[in-house]
Structure 1
Amino acid sequence: MAKASDTLWDLAIAEVEKRENADDDGKRAEVWERSVLFMGNKNGGKTTIILRCLKREEIPKPTLALEYTFGRRARRPDTPKDVAHFWELGGGTSLMELIRIPITSNSIRTFAVVLVLDLSKPNELWTTMEKLLQVTRNHVNKILAKLEKTNPEVATEIKQRMRNNLQRDHPDYELVDPFPIPLVIIGSKYDIFHEFDSEVRKIISKTLRFVSHYYGASLVFTSKSEALLLKAHALVNHLAFGYDKSKSLSVDHSKPLFIPAGMDSLSQIGPPPASDSDIAKLRANTPLELWKKVFEKTFPPKSSCDLQDTRDPAQDLQYAEHEVDVMRAQKKQELEQYKRNASKSWKEMDFGSD
């Protein structure tokens, strides 16, 4: 209700806010907020995909550690814009512990992960995927364990939502192990991958199909091609802004894959790409472990040190600042002294999940 003291400007602001916060029935429209974490191979194209989704014409720059940006979209005209928080983890697998920053008990209910795997580097593929998903899953499970004590309804809702990606009458319902939060796997650099031998492409494609289906994830192959970027864009928009899922499907190994979560099956994927005798010799406790051993027999993984980003951004001359560098050197000395005096090593310390 307007007051006598209100100026014309005050009344105008109040009217705009009223219109922006109301839906067609005059009721306040709910603003949704979601968060998406991009992680994967170094130089795998994560930044390019994010910029494309946000429709920003910028030249991608290397991601140093953990970077943040956001996007806003309105579901329909004259309604408040929903907000999507985009986080990007740089350094391949070298900075995995930073996932604790964006994934918290407050954000987990609306959180999703996009794993970008460089199809042109098959020898790094499984190690990168396994390490990043394992660390993320362990962290999310810790948060869920806490929520089961403090807010069991939310914990149950999150777990049930992931199970809903696969219908109960699906033949694989009891055989898969869904990731605890929504997951999209993007195979990047398809233009290079397409030049590989057809049998090599088939092994990699079948393996990623299995992993995606096993984790209840969506899978898409992309490149700099506008048509392929749009397909990846559609899956990310579903996570970030709640847009409808795409109904298209492509499982032909000679073409770019596009398989939304829940639309594949173990029978369609087939067995691991190895002879029956070779499979019989492999010792594995889970289907995932079996596929890993078959895949790594063809593509031996690089050692962990090869996948680490050894460059220290703080030593990069383009970021040099004298006062900051002097203070940093002092703090580094203090840290080394603390580590020598601490009763427990850094690895034994519990920094908490949030």
Structure 2
Amino acid sequence: MLSIPEIATRLVDETLTKVSEDNSCTICFVGSSSVGKSTLLNSFLDKNDTPRETLVMEYSFGRKTNQKQGMEKTICHVWEYGGKLDILKNILPSIPVNGKYYYCVMVDLAKIKSLWNTLESCIQAMVNTYAEQKSVLVELIIFGGKYDLFKNYDAEIKKLICTTLRSVALLFNASIVFYSSKEPSLVRRAKELLHGIGFGNGVPNKERMFNFSKPLIIPKGTDSWDNIGVTASTLEQVKARHLSRIPLDTELSSVGERTIGAHHAHPEPSLDSKVAMKYEELRNLDSLDISLGDYLIDLH
């Protein structure tokens, strides 16, 4: 029979364990490089530091007092991966998971030629790491970064990209939110989502946008194949449909390299920008993959 001090010790240990699980969560951010992951996380955590290039893995955390639990604090553990995606599967097993676990994949909407590779690599690493770990329940969230550039793309391209992302999200019961650090409304929306998963009751469900001509925000469980406008598909079918229109090719063609300088030929900078925007669409449809922002910098 246990003594009273031993019983008390066991009860305290059990209580602390329960509090730790109920009042903590883990957020892991992966995805495209230089797409805005650090900027968004700094905004969410109220950090004023100038974002720098993320090393292989960086850790930060946020805390908030839970009024319902007295002075108990809710802790949000945040991990950000900035290394090569082909070794991500070797990194994920080392991340300690506390409480609910949210796996956030941010793809660069301005680089449509590499979008599928980023999405597939990150999700495959997640599946390989956690599929057989019954004790770890992962919730996937897909962030579409650099929407300020993507919104100016051709309507058919935007529709195809949105169809692909929505199809993948439906297959993995994921949420989608489009984001740009240059559009305050999208910053607010992304921060509200992170606050919901970090300190609230999960992904907020009050705001939704399915229209591909607008920045998507689709909480898990609110979309369907009928809404997307395609037949129910497997991941391989989604991939085949996407790559039939936007084949993988991240190499700069010699033709593209020779042509870049030719587009800075108008007397008005505004015309240069419009030509650059249209040329970016053509480049992505053929064989090139450079962001519009990088191209505009080259122009000036």
TM-score (normalizing by structure 2): 0.71
| CA deviation after TM superposition for structure 1 residue 142, in Å | 3.3
**What is the match of residue 239 of structure 2?**
292
RMSD: 2.2
| CA deviation after TM superposition for structure 1 residue 293, in Å | 0.9
**What is the match of residue 34 of structure 2?**
43
User: Contact conserved, 2:24 with 2:99, CA < 8 A, in 1?
Assistant: no
User: Contact conserved, 1:37 with 1:112, CA < 8 A, in 2?
Assistant: yes
Code of the residue aligned with 2:160 in structure 1: it is: I
Label 1:138 to 1:108 Cα distance change in 2 as closer, same or farther (>3 A): farther
User: Contact conserved, 2:210 with 2:216, CA < 8 A, in 1?
Assistant: yes
Identify unmatched segments of 5+ residues in structure 1: 1-28, 145-154, 159-179, 273-284, 305-354
| CA deviation after TM superposition for structure 1 residue 45, in Å | 1.0
1:222-264 CA deviation, whole Å, 9 max, x = no partner?
1021210121122222222234623111111111000001011
User: Contact conserved, 2:25 with 2:101, CA < 8 A, in 1?
Assistant: yes
Match status 1:249 vs 2:208: yes
User: Contact conserved, 1:89 with 1:99, CA < 8 A, in 2?
Assistant: no
SS in 1 for 2:138: coil
* Bigger Cα displacement from structure 2, 222-231 vs 90-99: 90-99
Alpha-carbon distance between aligned partners in 2 of 1:229 and 1:54, rounded to the nearest angstrom: 13
Q: How does 1:125-274 map to 2 (within 5 A)?
A: 125-144=115-134, 155=135, 181-224=138-181, 225-243=183-201, 245-271=204-230
**What is the match of residue 99 of structure 1?**
92
Label 1:41 to 1:92 Cα distance change in 2 as closer, same or farther (>3 A): farther
**What is the match of residue 82 of structure 2?**
90
Alpha-carbon distance between aligned partners in 2 of 1:197 and 1:61, rounded to the nearest angstrom: 32
Identify unmatched segments of 5+ residues in structure 2: 1-17, 252-300
1:77-124 CA deviation, whole Å, 9 max, x = no partner?
852221111000112414311111115xxx265222011111001111
**What is the match of residue 74 of structure 1?**
65
1:307-328 CA deviation, whole Å, 9 max, x = no partner?
xxxxxxxxxxxxxxxxxxxxxx
Alpha-carbon distance between aligned partners in 1 of 2:86 and 2:235, rounded to the nearest angstrom: 24
**What is the match of residue 266 of structure 2?**
none
SS in 1 for 2:133: helix
| CA deviation after TM superposition for structure 1 residue 200, in Å | 0.6
SS in 1 for 2:67: coil
Code of the residue aligned with 1:99 in structure 2: it is: L
Label 1:69 to 1:46 Cα distance change in 2 as closer, same or farther (>3 A): same
| CA deviation after TM superposition for structure 1 residue 143, in Å | 2.5
Could you tell me the percent identity over the aligned residues?
31
User: Contact conserved, 2:86 with 2:121, CA < 8 A, in 1?
Assistant: no
Code of the residue aligned with 1:52 in structure 2: it is: S
**What is the match of residue 65 of structure 1?**
56
SS in 1 for 2:85: coil
User: Between Structure 1 and Structure 2, whose CA radius of gyration is higher?
Assistant: 1
| CA deviation after TM superposition for structure 1 residue 206, in Å | 1.3
User: Contact conserved, 1:234 with 1:246, CA < 8 A, in 2?
Assistant: no
Label 1:119 to 1:303 Cα distance change in 2 as closer, same or farther (>3 A): closer
Label 1:56 to 1:247 Cα distance change in 2 as closer, same or farther (>3 A): same
Q: Which runs of 4+ in 1 moved over 6 A?
A: none
Code of the residue aligned with 1:100 in structure 2: it is: P
User: Contact conserved, 2:31 with 2:122, CA < 8 A, in 1?
Assistant: yes
Code of the residue aligned with 2:79 in structure 1: it is: W
